[in-house]
């Protein structure tokens, strides 16, 4: 689903003009991105949490020359932790193994 798909669906369901919906969605995303860029945790109930985590320094390997170690410095990354409802919904997409019994 793209931002455009989201705008069209919300516009159709609410009767609002697509340009107004796009403006609200874009402002929302801008505020979330701005808060995360400042290191602020953004928590959207029933959806999830965006936060900045610092990855530790580590040693990597270049696949083209595996003998040479490459030092990877620590860096900040954005992490997303889905909310309980989203996690449970996505979990239902897990394929069932053949021969596995379903619980009553």
- Cα 67 to Cα 102: distance, rounded to the nearest angstrom: 49
In terms of domains, do 67 and 35 share one? no
In a domain, 99, yes or no: no
Nearest in space to 31 (alpha carbons), one of 19, 17, 44: 44
Residue of 46, 45, 50, 54 lying closest to 81 (CA atoms): 50
Task: Give the number of other CB atoms < 10 A from CB of residue 69.
Answer: 11
**DSSP designation for 97:** P
C-alpha neighbours within 13 Å on the C-beta side of residue 13? 7
Total-model pTM? 0.74
Condensed to tens digits (0 to 9), the pLDDT of residues 22-42 reads 999 999 999 999 999 999 999
Whether 87 is in a domain gets the answer yes
User: Domain range holding 61?
Assistant: 50-93
- pLDDT greater than 80 at residue 99: no
């Amino acid at each position: 689903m793209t931002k455009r798909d989201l705008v069209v669906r919300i516009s159709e369901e609410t009767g609002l003009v697509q340009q107004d919906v796009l403006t609200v969605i874009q402002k929302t995303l801008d505020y979330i991105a701005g808060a995360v860029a400042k290191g602020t945790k953004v928590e959207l109930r029933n959806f999830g949490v965006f936060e900045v985590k610092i990855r530790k320094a580590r040693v990597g390997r270049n696949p083209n020359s595996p003998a040479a170690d490459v030092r990877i410095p620590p860096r900040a990354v954005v992490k997303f932790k889905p909310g309980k409802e989203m996690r449970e919904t996505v979990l239902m997409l897990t394929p069932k193994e053949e021969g596995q019994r379903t619980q009553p």
